[in-house]
Chain A
């Protein structure tokens, strides 16, 4: 198919914090302004805007897309809001890619802003309404249930222990020590994770990413437009997204088939034949520590049940052969739902440009991947990036 090639040419991000004084609009403006400044552009150079933001219930503001449009630079422009729960942060740049790849526009500003703290005292309750209102909500579920149920199934299918999985949390929170936006950077041990409060066995407090406020933004440009903007473009060579049924209790919880489908779509487009060899660095979505392993398998970066071996062998450390979540991930940098996925795209962008500073992985990688996931454990969103 004839697509315009699409490059990422600029990026911006706010700090990720539990409670931000700024409104969601103001966070969106800060990240967007930083992204445009980073590549010497102004809002007048932007032809279209793709906004990602997760449930309206967090903010208590209906039509959140419209609410955030001014801060995102979307007023009086072709503007579109994307929302697939936790998958939104990679879904929004996929839509930005569609805007430019189609030839409709030469530039697109992609903005993801999330303010979870408005749901007070805790946004957890807002998640109750993602469950089926008649057959599930009457049981008073909390969001952690589905993660705990999936984690238990994943562990028991492959004989993986909580201690092993805890090493993902240890790694990612440590990686976040070098990320200037990070909310929960810390040096902890497996024992710290095991001894943290049990919320819903097998999930402990330190197995989970925090609730966060924050925003991120990137600037996309067509090939010919990018030449006027930067000599270090990072190309979006593959995009993939896939949704499974919301009857989540009838699925094989040990394996995310929809993530596999999304990844294969992106790999086919990018001409990636052997993902294990060709994807040199990745940011799989890690709202809970086991999810990093679960997603590595869905992404075909590890065989089923074997991602844990790569973790234990140190292969996924920042200085390992296949770094996973070198940013610090949702576990370490924080998890302002939609902004998290875009933070991961930005990390791969910076790593491929050799601009990740203290977080820079060795070996000058040329090809990387960012992935997000969400809704009722049913959506996978993937981008493959190359320099």
Chain B
């Protein structure tokens, strides 16, 4: 069989056909809501973020200090052993300069791009990173390996969320 010699299915239409009503469709927006339980590991992580600290969990078998904390070590596949505070500094493992919002819409003209990065947290095991964003930095000055520090919300504004850290900013000097 050769595909070139066959009649293939699927009939393309342009989005304008929907907008002009030439092709009928049913549009619905489901309104689902969720309340996600944190569990003991992420629960404590969030409580500590509210206090302006970052906490990790240690596995005494592989000796990894893991962030985000977890109650079981996915490599040794056994319960983790202790809580360990780590620093609120780290280095940029990788980053992006992003002009697209989460829903594929574009950021407004003149707005600053999103600066997502993987931050390797000081005090956690080598290579242990978390997803966060960078701030107080010109996009063109961001470098892999750059040292950064958490910029925290004011204590009274913190709510026990990953966003209690506003962003990570370059360490001066």
Contact = CB atoms under 8 A, between A and B. Distances in A.
A144 B8 contact: no
A120 interface: yes
B101 A180 contact: no
Interface string A194-230: 0001111111000000000111000000000000000
A339 B84 CA distance: 45
Interface string A149-186: 11011001000000000000000000000011100000
Interface in A1-59: 10-11, 13-22, 26-27, 30-31, 34, 38
A102 interface: no
Interface in B22-62: 23, 25, 27-28, 30, 34, 36, 38, 42, 45-46
B130 interface: yes
Q: How many residues of A sit at the interface, in one of the four size bands?
A: 35 or more
Interface stretch (A93-101, A130-138, A264-272): A130-138
Given A133-B34, A249-B129, A140 B12 contact: no
A135 B42 contact: yes
Contact of B104 (A13, A18, A125, A134): A125
Contacts of A355: 1-2
A327 to B, nearest CB: 10
Given A136-B131, A249-B131, A200 B98 contact: yes
B100 interface: yes
A80 interface: no
Contacts of B117: 149
Given A180-B4, A250-B127, A355-B1, A30 B95 contact: no
A358 interface: yes
B141 interface: no
B133 interface: yes
Given A27-B10, A139-B162, A145 B1 contact: no
B74 interface: yes
A136 B131 CA distance: 7
Nearest to A197: B99
Nearest to B45: A135
Contacts of B30: 60
B12 A20 contact: yes
B173 interface: no
Interface string B127-152: 11111110000010000100000000
A217 B111 CA distance: 45
A149 B118 contact: yes
B96 A200 contact: yes
Interface in B72-86: 74
Contact of A198 (B15, B38, B70, B99): B99
A22 to B, nearest CB: 6
A14 B3 CA distance: 10
A17 B10 CA distance: 7
Contacts of B162: 134-136, 138-139
Contacts of A60: 28, 30
Given A134-B42, A252-B127, A34 B98 contact: no
Interface string B91-107: 00111111111111000
A364 interface: no
A192 B114 CA distance: 24
B66 to A, nearest CB: 7
B9 interface: yes
B12 A153 contact: no
10 contacts: A14-B8, A21-B13, A125-B104, A134-B42, A135-B68, A135-B162, A141-B116, A148-B116, A152-B94, A180-B4
Given A13-B3, A134-B162, A148-B98, 8 more contacts: A15-B9, A19-B12, A22-B9, A30-B10, A201-B96, A201-B98, A253-B118, A350-B2
Interface of A: 10-11, 13-22, 26-27, 30-31, 34, 38, 60, 120-122, 124-125, 128, 131-136, 138-142, 144-145, 148-150, 152-153, 156, 179-181, 197-203, 213-215, 245, 247, 249-253, 350, 355-358
